[in-house]
A = this chain, B = another copy of it.
Amino acid sequence: MRTMLELAILGFLCDTPLHGYELRKRITALTGHVRPVAESTLYPAIKRLEKAGLLARETQAGAIAAPRHVLTLTPEGRQELRKRLAEPARGDITDENRWFTLLAFLRHLDDEAAQAAVLRRRLAFLEEPASFFYDGDRPLRAEELDDPFRRGILTIARATSRAERAWLHATLASLSGSAR
């Protein structure tokens, strides 16, 4: 539970009811180029969420091909989505894949102050002096590495971090509820 996939399902269904196959296409469009979604992962996930009462299924016979199961988010599902967005696990903040998924649905948190708080958690993580390579405790800079590939990791990570920090600052400033 609390996986990227479940968040995406809840997030997409928050906009509009969908059947599983359409849900799959949307998730594939969102993150499929990085991590494909297998149907054998999606359908069990839908079942889990249904069993937990987070979404409801309404069978729609013979629409085009096989009978569709149109999935609708329940009030509990909406509640759960907001909770997962407002109180993300640490991994949702640190892992870029999970973070992007969260960002894709963060607008469903209607409270701007809560949105800003989440962005600030990511910002705090990016401002930690963490590297991929160390000399004892001291994080190494790209220039200090001989290996060109490892130098690449730091170069790319630094560019990403700079761009994201700039975006975070700008977005936090534009959120009216961002006052600490």
Contacts and interface: CB of A to CB of B under 8 A. Distances in A.
Query: Which of A29, A30, A31, A34 gathers most chain B CB within 10 Å?
Result: A34
B97 A33 contact: no
Interface stretch (A48-56, A57-65, A69-77, A146-154): A146-154
A121 to B, nearest CB: 14
Nearest to A109: B149
Interface residues of A, number: 40
A163 B156 contact: yes
Interface of A: 29-31, 33-35, 91, 94-97, 100, 103-104, 106-107, 115, 128, 130, 132-134, 147-150, 152-153, 155-157, 159-160, 162-164, 167-168, 171, 174
